[in-house]
Structure 1
Amino acid sequence: MSIKEIGRVFTQRWFLGLVGVAACSIFIWVVGPLITVAGYEPLKSDFQRLVTILVIVFAWALINLTKQHKQKVREDESIQTLLEVDSQSDKEAASEIDVMRDRIEQAIKVVTKTHKGKRSLYDLPWYVLIGPPGTGKTTVLKQSGLEFPLAESLGADSIAGVGGTRHCDWWFANKAVLIDTAGRYTTQDSQEKVDSKAWHGFLGLLKKYRTQRPINGAIVTISLASMMSQTRTERSLHARSIKSRLQELKNQLGMQFPIYVLLTKMDLVAGFNEFFADLSKEEREELFGFMFPREVDDERGVISLFNKEFHGMLERLDARMLRILETEDDLEKRTLIFEFPKQLRVLQANLDEFLSEIFAQNTFEEPALIRGVFLLSSVQEGIPVDRLMSESTNGLGLGRLPLATNVNSSHSYFVKNLFERVIFKEQLLGTVNRHYQKQSGWMRTGIYVGCAGVLVGASALWFLSYQWNSKLIVDTNNQANHIEAMIGAESLDFESDVISAVDTLDNIMMLPLGKNSKYGHSDAVKKFGLYQGDKVSQAANNAYSDALSQHFATLLSESLVSEMEANKQHREYLYETLKTYLMLFNPEKYQQEEVIAWFNFYFERQYPGELNKELRERLLVHTKNLLENDEKGFSMDATAISAAREVLTQMSLPERAYQRMKMQFAKSHVPSFRLTDVLGPKGLEQFERASGKPLSQGISGFYTYNGFHSIFQIQINRTVKGLMEENWVYGDDLKAHEIDHDSAIQGVQARYYQDYVNEWKTLIEDIQLKQAPSLALATEQSRVLSGVERPIESLLRAIQKEVGLSKVTLSENQKAATEVAGKVAKVKFSNTADKLDMYLPEENGFNVALPGKEVESHFTEILRLSEQDFDDIQQAMVNLRSYLSDLSSSGNNQKIAYKSILDGTVTQDVAASFARAKDLLPKPFNQWLGELSQESVKFAESGSKDHLNQLWVTNVVRPYQRTIAGRYPFEPNATKEVRLKDFQRFFGYGGTLDSFFQEYLEPFVDTSKSRWRLEKEIGVRPETLAVFQRAKRIRQSFFESDNSLRVEFGMKPVYLDQHITRFVLELGDQDLVYKHGPARSKELRWPSGQDQTRIVFTPPESKREIAHTYEGEWGIFKLLDQSLKARPESRNDNIVMIDLKGNKVQLELIPSSAINPFWSNEMERFRCPQTL
């Protein structure tokens, strides 16, 4: 490592950070013990200082690793960005990227199978070939003399001859991997966006799969033929493209790499074959070009040496020319040989300008590392270019003199040794990926620092562990003798002073290495040395266990006994307390979770409030510790147990089971039935409770359909069975089994059914409709009752579901079983204390009626309502709404007059429809309808739809069938066509359709939307409105505002066959004539006054015209239809293609307005329905 590189290490950010961490660590270790904060010395001990230093070291390492990770993430995101596509136009690029990804993955798979391990990707250098299309990249590889043992398996050599590369081909030679890129990726001049995206995707693949050193170099191919034939502008564009690709390679891959320029197709320079015809095979394999030094003292960079090196090469050619001329006798060949160096000299200026534009240095870009320029010829084919002769003949006006075409030769010139002797030997000249290099450096630094930190930390922990265990032995010996004295000196009387007693327990529990000792450091520090804690902690644990069993157990057992004596009237709570007490003495029935839950609830009631929260928590800790002891120390009170059992057995088993279910599931997951959930927001405004209760107060979910099926039906057997199995709580098997299981089930069901009926009857009888004191409120009420919410029907259907407990289909039963059974079978409260809380009375107690039996027999009139019955009830509401709406809107004379025309004579009575609905409904629902019917009057029912249909058939359908139906253009293949007068009479402004719509439908149709819709239901289907809307579009396309039939448009010639001298389009008295001159638009109009449209093609020097006539007034549209069938794209680009007997012309149709009939299918789709 050089001194310069060592100096660079000292300026790196990571090294400066490491120095800072070291300085901070020394400061903490030396100065830390002197720091005091409010009397506290946070860095006094060695352990505290060591931990602080380790935290700083690991924080520094973590920060650096985080930065490295973020940089890696950004790098991965940048790669992913190159590979992602995000628009429809990028689909082609995505396809190309997928192809290249498959290629490179396939290639890497073959390589990893051939070599040992993934590192083989870096054993071979990778080179990328770029250059415009047709510069011979693939041919150079084929003629390079390299061996490609994997070509067959990779398919890289799949294109025969010297063809174009479609995407990228990976050529795996014995000594290198060469990536042959498509020429369009370099120029990006055909599909710029697709090619650019695919090129960047290719770079992303390189960066992803070969991160450390994506490539070892780049090879740029430039055709000498293009240098001779292209203009200066074209050469400049290619130079900029190549420069952009090279810059993108450097920037995206994050590295510098050598670049080799290959000037291909040297054989197309006139005189090449003759000049080098005498070369032997070995001489053809030599190099023809020159290398550049890595650095040069010139502001333009090493490319400034091009002219000098090229001139030296030409001097060598001149020397060779003299030797060849001495042996050549053919005059023509001597001329070509003599002029060959001059041909290259002519190219020198173009090449210098071209390469300078690519490689010249500037202050804004990192200079490219160009290593050399080489001239070569892979194959000899094509016609050579004689720049000297071309310039001379062009100056004399003689044109270009042809040269002999090269015979396709398999010889290659100056290619074979180029790769192995020059390019591959400099494979390590380029740099590695800067991002990868930086990440690797951070990784190594992190590993070194981490290892050092682990070593220091482990040593410190071993030392501290030894110190701690030594101190532990001394402290334990000093306090062990004090434990028994503490128990005797401190009072443990929980009755007189519970706080002092709990404090004493806490002190015993907190003895060093006791039950809950916080003595010393963590176990990790203790056990790094010779841990002695297991030997010295037994005495403290024994002292704490004795205090719990001899004193605290008495408090707990006496608490249970006193609660049983004080709560005999609350039988469920008494039952849970007795069961908890008995579990303490019955290991087989013991459930610690339930016992702890009971004591938690007891402590919350005994010591309530936030002030006693800490005391409750400490009591619960000691309770759990006591219950975990083998020797608990509880004493049984047989008298208290007998008294509790005597109270519990006074209630029958069905009564106990139902009361338990009722209290347990009153607050279950099943929601209550509320009118606010059934009635919509507007419907709620029309109802009230006679009792004055709010509508939101409903029936408990326990007495609903879901409660019956998902709770009662499932839990009844579980509850009864559980009570019968808990005979050990009652202590008397005969009492617990005074009735059998089935009888108990029936008794619980009877109580539940009766309560179910009472709950629902009470609610139903309490609902009533609000009185409407005015016509406006009555009208609004009728609108709500007949509206989409259908509140009466919704309420009845909801009641049907809730009281029809057996009206469930099989599929619904299965659904209830699968969705609810599992959930309800495991119904739990948040904790057992919540359940216990229910067993004690609330302030107002429970106001729930006792259950009864059978449910459905009490609601038969509601359950028998059918779909037809609901329709009749709703129709009555609709009738009332319509009648009241007409009354309240009598100020609108237009709609009232029209309605009287549609309705005809009065045929129905609102009261009669309400009478039928009243007969269907039970109380109080029939009373509601009676109140509503009293507010209604006789209703006029009409045949508005029949009347409208009669007018429609007479005024519209019959004229349509006579003049429009089945005729062109409404029927494209029809021989008959619609006469223009009939068309105008039917579709024009104020015509048949327009008049009918304005007179009968317009007041009730909303035409402001893109799709017309009815504002009021008058018996017209939406499909019929579409007919009128389509007719309007036809009218706007063909007719002026004054109802004149007129369509104006322009026709502009776009293309005419070369063998046709003249084309004519005749539209009545108008014509469009085109003779291959400048294309001009011709303004035309339709109708034209004559009944035909004619096209005429005139061949050259021929008196016979090729013509065709489209008969009829619609001739021009027939011509357009024929063009559209032959070329569907005309609908998008307005290009009319006319092909008459192989003679073609293309015309651009230019409508005068965006609203026009051209290419429209409105007339073809137009049909008049028989009815509205």
Structure 2
Amino acid sequence: MNFILNFLRSKAGALTGVLIIAVIILVVGPMVGIPRFWCIVVVVLLILGALIYLLVQKLLARRKAKMLEGYLATQARDDELSARPDLKDEIRALREKMEAAIRVLQRSAGGSRWKKGDALYVLPWYMIIGRPAAGKTTLVKNSGLSFPAFDSGPESTAIRGFGGTRNCDWWFTNEGIILDTAGRYTAEGGAQDQVEWNAFVGMLKKARKKAPINGLILAVGFDELLGREDVEAEARMLRGKIDELLDQLGIIFPVYLVFTKCDLLHGFVDFFGDLGKREREQVWGTTFKLYEERRLPVYKEFEDEFEHLTAALAARRNTLLGMDKNSQEKQGVYLFPQEFQEIKNRLVRFVDILFESSRFRQDPAVRGIYFTSGTQGEGTVIDAVIGKMSREMGVSAGLQEQEKSAEPKAYFIKELFQRIVLFDRNFAAPSTKAGKKSQYLRLAAIWGQLLLGVGILSAVLISFFQNQSELKKTHQAARVVRNVGANPVRDMETLMPLFRRLEKLDAWEESWSPLSLHWGLYSGQKANREARMQFLKKLRYSLLVPSHNHFAQYLSDTTRALTDLDRYSNVFTSYRMLSEKYDPAAQPSVLAQEVWEFWKSNVPVERHEEWQRMLSDQINYYWKHRADEELQDYTITPNRETVRLAEAVLKPRFGPKQFYNQLIARAGGRLPPLRVEDLVPGSQLLSGNSLSGAYTRKGWEDAVLELFEKSPEEMEKNPILKANVERSGVDIRQELKRLYREDYRTQWKNFFAGVKIGPFADLEDAVGKIAKLAGGNSELFEFLQKSLEKGELKGDDFEKQLASDFQTLSDLLSGELKGRGEKPAKDTYLEEDLPELNKRMQEGAESFKGKQNCGSALQSLVNNMSSRRDYATRGVVWDALGTKEFLQKPFEAAKEAAFGDACQCLNEIWEEKIREPFVRELAGLYPFSPSDKEASFAQMQKFLGREEGLLWFEEKEIRPAREEGMRFSAEYDSLALRAKDLYPGEAMGLAFTLEADARNFRPTSGRGVVQEAQLTLGSQSPFAYRMGVKIPWDFMWKPSDPNCELSLKVQGLRCEPKSFTGPWALFRLFDQGVTQGGSVYWDFDCGGFAYRAEYGLKGDFLQRGHFQSFKLPEKICP
């Protein structure tokens, strides 16, 4: 994996990625339709860009290498000048050696021609730190690195006393540069040593900003580590140096802990002495993964790995003891694994302190812990096992000097450098978490080089398939409209999918189509033109030709000009727009409106808004493309007689007003309308209608003024208008301005009046939203301020006239309009009046929670809010713009919110006091149900009465609310009226009239003559009709009259009377009758013959089943 990453980071990897991408483009491009020429162009540009990038990188590297070389030379000269006289010659010789080493290095650079000249910058730099005599130099000498040959032996390549620091060895090798720091910087030196160390580190950071060093090697000799009691101090001292490097260099780098002089451990030479050269070059120790979250502390991982190393030594010991060795060698072989195991605790403790983790500092990136030996026969042998036994027995073990080896050998060093240290050259990274992320991003960018080719291929394929998809959608939409006929109401929605496709294609042509459709494959222009012609052809056939014919019929009726001259003029304008060549001054909005007026009667009312918008969009699209060259003659043949007749009608009537309307329509077509959401973007509280763009400052300055100034030239082109203007004797410009002045005021007043605040769900919701309106960034005053900016004009006298309507608003916003106590009216409104309104709404909300006297509570609340409304706007004069009314809108909106709370309260009272008792006690009884069981008089009195019934509810709860403008459902209003009819006074009663006419008393089967008909109602005088003249008879039904009888006398026959008893006798009688129109009749059985008695009737309550329709709604208001 590391090999792959290193390759991808290399220039060879980058070039390989570019070549792969180039091959993909050349092979795949023609397969998906990209011309080969453009594929070659892209590949050439890609390769050229890659070469330029590499060249720039090369030049930058060489420049930085020169800077490094100059910096080092300067430091060397400064060192020479500051040296003692007796050392100057030595220092000069060292400097000359250093310069020679750099020259040789620049020439060789490891055999790479690319690196020649910039080796100092390109090669990795490693630092070795450790105490004096820790074996640092021995490590480098035995590293297997190749030194540039400019003098005999590798020793000559170490330039001592150079680089701004004393006693520092610079090892220049073809694989990298190794800084062998002076051991005194690792030991606890003085202040001067610390200053020199900081300067040395600063030089590294300045010379190589991106990666001052590529790795740090900690050299710790066994003689120092195992011969000292305070290993903790040694570990903390080295950790301090690591932390200083991390802080000062600002990067995180691999750290290699190398234990040197392992040969001082008793038995080392005996144990490993038989290893061949290749085996001695291998690595002995443990290597950790970099930049991965550790599951265990470093010391714990090392402790585990140490056990594996010890186990491997024990296994090898068994093999060695079987070989032919003398007793002393066998003793060494036997004891060495034990000696190694014995020092475990000391080493683990050392590693624990050295690499202790802390959240308050950057943890080192520990790459590995290794054991080495560079030479043998120097120093005192460390016998941990014998020493421990001696200490336990209380005797002195004595120290044994190691015998000088005849041929010193390097153990476990070469592959440590070759396979691990140098291989990790690219793992230095910024020391912060963000830096780690940026490293991952860089790695991602490297992978991106390989993925770029796949990306380009994907883009081309996506472009191909998306183009195919877009073409397919366009063709499908075009196929659908082939069957469109001459009925736009039926076919309008059929045209819409194609229209929306054309809108999208037009937008792509006017701006920029999506990138995913390009890559040399976009063919939307051709498809757009073909589909457009088909759409316009169908639109002309199905909509424009029928509309044109309708316009001709409309214009033929000249009386229409007498009732609505503006409409007649607009229809004539629309007729000419369809009949004549394209006129850029014409306004498609006029044509769209007149076409809609023609067709809207055929569209369901609930879809008017939707269809008008669809039709307007299609007319605008049609007119936009009438300017296209292929559509210049796309006209409908006019009826010359219709044109002549319309011109004759308009000639004496088409004056400045009609001309003004045309100019304003033209100006409004140039600018978008001004909407409430444009003035207060994202507002959830303010909404309303739009204002034509012609009535804004921009509209005046950019459109209307220009049209008015050119109006004389326009008038010259219209003989009818010219003659009428000259006849009236007005100046056309001044007349247009006068009309504009009137409309400007009216349009802005209507715009302000149409603004709505809310809606509010209830008073609690209103309190929160009104508080927002009273806040620091009040949307209410933001709207007013933006309106002032959009509407107020400042200039000549005419513009000042237009601006005069905004004077009150301007004074209010500027603070010149004073409120109470000389405080600006705006401040008193926001800081006092709206908060007071909120306070009163909160009190009102509480009053509705009692479920009683809701109507009175509403009346009181509304009166309080109204008085505060008048008080709040008392200082604002009534102006033409409606500023005062606008400031009253929050109060009116609050009133509507109060209606909502009152409605909920009244609905609850209605349910509890009226509806629920009715359903429970009366709904199943007669007369409310066709039942034998009847409601008693007391029950009806209670239900309808003024003490606790329906009339009580109407008078006590509803009437106060009605007086404040609250509206109730039609069902409830009808019910209340019927209740009043049944309860006209203090008691129940019902007035009705019967009208008797002899012609309506007749046999239906029989020949006898009806002599008399009589209706008896309780104790009232009976109505006896003896077939004379028509007689009306007034009755008053009361529950106290419990009986009712209707009888009929027929000559020679006996008729069965219709008799009923009880308080509802009259209603049961009429339930047996048949009511039709304004009369009621009954059929009688008279000795086997049928006779009919029919009366004229005035009184809805007596119609059959009338009370059974007496249903109480669940809610009396929305």
Q: Normalised by the size of structure 2, how large is the TM-score?
A: 0.29
Structure with the greater alpha carbon radius of gyration: 2
Q: How does the TM-score come out when normalised to structure 1? A: 0.27
